Structure formats: C-alpha cells, structure tokens
C-alpha cells in the first residue's frame, strides 16, 4: 500500500467549507490577546467588546484571581482523576455546598461545563420509555441530552403554554416519565422562560420540572440567584441547572435539587463518571465568585442600568431588536435582527474594523432568515464605551441599510 494513491477520506469537508464560504457564513476565529474585558485587544486591534458573557466583569476580579492563584499554590494544577475515582478534592465539595446554600436547595453537583450538566443530567434522568417536553428554542446541550436519553422528544412552540399542555396531554396516559424543560433566559433572543405557567403544567401532569439558568445565573433574582428566585417559584422546580462559565467568570456547570437527585447523578451522569473534574483553581475561583455575588450586589445593579440604557438607544437608532418576528428581549442580551446571514456577517466584520466586537450569529445556531448580531452588556462597560459602540453601530448600520 502506498500513500500516493490514497484518496483523502475527509475530502468532503473541503466541499462543505467551500459551501459555507459561498453562503458568506464561514468565519475565522477571532483571537483575544488581552484579558476578557469591555475594552479588549482582539486580532491585534483594540475594540469595545459587546460579545462576551462576562456579565459582571468577574473574569478579571482581583478576589477571584487571588483565589485561583492561592488554590494552585496549595493544591497544584490538576485533580488527576474523575470525581468517582480519586478526583474529588475538598475544594470541589466546598463549592457544591456553597452553591446549594446560595440557591437554598438540599444539594448540588458541579460538572465540567453547563453543556455537560445539561446533557449529562437529561440523559441520566430519562430513558427510552419516557417523554421530554421541550421548548423549541432550548439550548443545544438540552437537545443533545434528550437525544442521548433515547426518550421521545415532544417540542412545543417557543413559550407557548397551550402547546406545551397539548404535548403533555397527548402522553398523559402513557406509563413513561415526563420531563418539562425550558431555558431560564434564551441565549439568542434574551427573553425569559414562562416559569410560573410551566410549573403549573408540571404539577398538573405530574412532570419533572427542569430549567437551564445559564444566562440567568448572576443576572436574575436576588444576588443573581436565577429565574426560580426571580419568579418566586421556590420548591416548584425539581432540577435547576446553572453555569459557572458566564456571569460567574470561570468554567463549569451545576445542578441543584434534592439530595437524592444529586446522589443519583453522582452514580449515573456520564460526564461526572467519565471526565476529569476541574482543576483546584477553577473550584476556588467559583467559590470566590459566589462570595462576590453576595458582597457586591451593585455589580448586578450596574449590569441592569447598562442594559436599560443600551437597549433604549439601540431601539432609537431604528434597529429591529426583537419583538416583531422574533421574541422580545428582557435581559442584557439584545439581538439586532438582520435576517440575511451574509449581510449579518458583513455587518459584524465592518463593526470590527471600526472598533466594535459584536458577533454575527447565523444558521444553524439560529433559524434560517433570522440571522443577527448579538449584543451583551456587562456591569463593567463605561457609559463612554457604550456611547462609542452605539455611534459605530449606527454609522455602520445605516451604511449597510440595516438601521
Ligand atoms: C452557554 C449555555 C450553556 C452551556 O454552558 P457552558 O458552561 O458554557 O458549557 C447551556 N445552556 C445555555 C442556555 C447556554 O446559553
């Protein structure tokens, strides 16, 4: 056998990439050369960054940085094993206890990421005779978890309670378990899941109620306790997922609930069983972050103040910021709906050239024809940075016929 005659079995990938380029939705990764901050150096250029999930500015908080360094000095850089073998360090247990107290639940388990928290939990809780009733705009990690579980997936139209009830009613006489699941805040549109009405349905039909609070952790509820606290539906949500990767500023995901739920996940959630636990620095950083949430509530106030200002000004420019053919944002995520994928990517590139980092998002991340620039506020953007970003958005938006 000679390699000279071998046909590259991956040659189809080149064809697919060419197709992306033709559609105008192929991208190069932008590279951050500074810290993740409102004013960042990206691809060698200083830009105002309105693309990150660093809601509270915790990625560079001195207390978190010190906690990471101290834990590294004390415990080293890695845990050395999966949690169930030899990789459970006291600092991992401390973080889980800290989160459980913060969320006022019996227990908590931390995963490597929000993605694995969702996919690992949904796939562990349900099996092939069960049913998952899921909002059509739920995050990819929920969809993957649902597929892995082999349960039957019944999708309901976005935030459509009547449709969710129809789906639940259609399987109410089936013996399998039912899981009703929604994002707390929807990541592409910034609207909030209708928790109270979904909790009513879960109770009426005896379904397990689960929420994914990735974009609500640190953003909604008292001191950022999430949507359960925001809506005052304590005790009515069986499984609460959150992330440590967005407002919390580091990396990870967690599940909160009863002691039995957490004990079960310790035994059955596959990312927990088969993937190594966080380095001590990550756990220490997150512990410090929850302390900051309690000690510095002014960060959350500032986040919302910036959000109100930026949203109002974006609307004044004349952009479609949702609420017409897409859901209306209620949170620091504000989309600028463009529609066409190619034009969206051009908008994003032109913004970057003029000093604003705002990511374009197109199919398959959002539906075809609903491509958008997604803007995200943080507590640490200054008014001057926001005004400069708004000026640039207006100028480039008008030039491209978007505003
Ligand atoms: C970002 C996100 C996740 C994944 O969280 P990571 O910690 O980044 O893996 C899960 N669900 C939603 C809704 C998200 O936006």
- 253 Cα nearest atom in ligand 1: 7
Per-residue pLDDT tens digits of the chain, which is 403 residues long: 556 788 899 999 999 999 999 988 888 899 999 999 999 999 999 999 999 999 999 999 999 999 999 999 999 999 999 999 999 999 999 999 999 999 999 999 999 999 999 999 999 999 999 999 999 999 999 999 999 999 999 999 999 999 999 999 999 999 999 999 999 999 999 999 999 999 999 999 999 999 999 999 999 999 999 999 999 999 999 999 999 999 999 999 999 999 999 999 999 999 999 999 999 999 999 999 999 999 999 999 999 999 999 999 999 999 999 998 899 999 999 999 999 999 999 999 999 999 999 999 999 899 999 999 999 999 999 999 999 999 999 999 999 999 8
The 10 Å CB-count burial string (b at 16+, else e) for 368-403 is: eebbbbbbbbbbbbeeebbebbbebbbebbeeeebb
Domain residue spans in the chain?
Answer: 24-53+297-399, 61-295
- For ligand 1, say whether the CB of 331 is within 6 Å of any of its atoms: no
Confidence (pLDDT) at 2: 59
d(CA 223, CA 385): 25
Whether 246 is catalytic is yes
Predicted confidence at residue 343, as pLDDT, reads 95
CA-proximal residue: ligand 1, atom 6 (nearest): 114
| Strands (DSSP E) found in 264-358 | 333-339, 356-357
For the record, the structure tokens of 204 come out as: 């009426």
Question: How far apart (Å, rounded) are the C-alpha atoms in residues 132 and 336?
Answer: 31
Q: Alpha-carbon distance 255 to 269, whole Å?
A: 11
Separation of CA 36 and ligand 1 centre (Å) = 18
Same-fold call for 24-53+297-399 versus 61-295: no
- Non-local (6+) Cβ contacts of 58 within 8 A are 64, 218, 247, 248, 249, 250, 289, 292
Nearest residue by C-alpha to atom 2 in ligand 1: 214
Q: Facing residues of 361 across strands?
A: 372
State the CATH architecture for 61-295.
3-Layer(aba) Sandwich (3.40)
CB of 113 sitting under 6 A from ligand 1: yes
Is 142 exposed, middle or buried (CB count within 10 Å of its CB: 0-12, 13-18, 19+)? buried
Per-residue confidence (pLDDT) for residue 1, from 0 to 100: 55
CA 385 / ligand 1 centre spacing (Å): 27
- What is the residue whose two structure tokens read 């967690």? 254
Strands, sheet with 371-376, edge to edge from the N-terminal-most edge strand: 333-339, 371-376, 359-361
24-53+297-399, CATH topology level: 3.90.1150
């Amino acid at each position: 056998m000679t390699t000279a005659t071998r046909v590259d079995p991956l040659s189809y990938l080149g064809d697919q990439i060419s197709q992306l380029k033709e559609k105008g939705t192929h991208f190069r990764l932008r590279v951050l050369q500074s810290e993740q901050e409102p004013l960042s150096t990206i691809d060698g250029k200083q830009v105002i960054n309105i693309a990150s999930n660093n809601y509270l500015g915790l990625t560079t908080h001195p207390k978190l940085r010190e906690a990471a360094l101290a834990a590294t000095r004390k415990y080293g850089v890695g845990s050395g094993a999966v949690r169930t073998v030899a990789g459970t360090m006291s600092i991992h247990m401390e973080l889980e206890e800290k989160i459980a107290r913060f969320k006022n639940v019996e227990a908590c388990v931390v995963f490597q990421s929000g993605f694995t928290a969702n996919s690992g939990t949904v796939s562990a809780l349900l099996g092939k005779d069960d049913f998952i009733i899921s909002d059509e705009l739920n995050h990819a990690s929920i969809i993957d978890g649902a597929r892995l579980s082999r349960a039957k997936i019944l999708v309901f139209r976005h935030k459509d309670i009547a449709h969710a009830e129809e789906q639940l009613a259609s399987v109410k006489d089936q013996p399998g378990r039912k899981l009703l699941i929604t994002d707390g805040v929807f990541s592409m549109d910034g609207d909030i899941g209708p928790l109270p009405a979904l909790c009513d349905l879960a109770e009426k039909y005896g379904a397990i109620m689960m929420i994914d609070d990735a974009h609500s952790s640190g953003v909604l509820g008292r001191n950022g306790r999430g949507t359960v606290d925001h809506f005052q539906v304590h005790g009515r949500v069986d499984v609460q997922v959150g992330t440590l990767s967005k407002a919390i500023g580091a990396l990870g995901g967690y599940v909160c609930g009863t002691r039995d739920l957490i004990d079960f996940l310790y035994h059955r959630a596959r990312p927990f069983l088969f993937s190594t636990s966080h380095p001590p620095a990550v756990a220490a950083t997150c512990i410090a972050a929850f302390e900051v949430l309690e000690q510095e509530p002014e960060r959350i106030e500032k986040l919302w103040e910036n959000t109100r200002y930026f949203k109002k000004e974006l609307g004044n420019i004349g952009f479609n910021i949702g609420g017409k053919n897409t859901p209306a944002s209620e949170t620091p995520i504000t989309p600028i709906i463009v529609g066409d994928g190619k034009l969206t990517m051009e908008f994003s590139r032109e913004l970057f050239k003029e000093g604003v980092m705002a990511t374009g998002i197109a199919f398959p991340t959002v539906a075809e024809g609903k491509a958008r620039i997604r803007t995200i506020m943080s507590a640490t953007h200054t008014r001057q940075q926001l005004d400069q970003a708004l000026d640039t958005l207006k100028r480039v938006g008008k030039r491209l016929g978007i505003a």
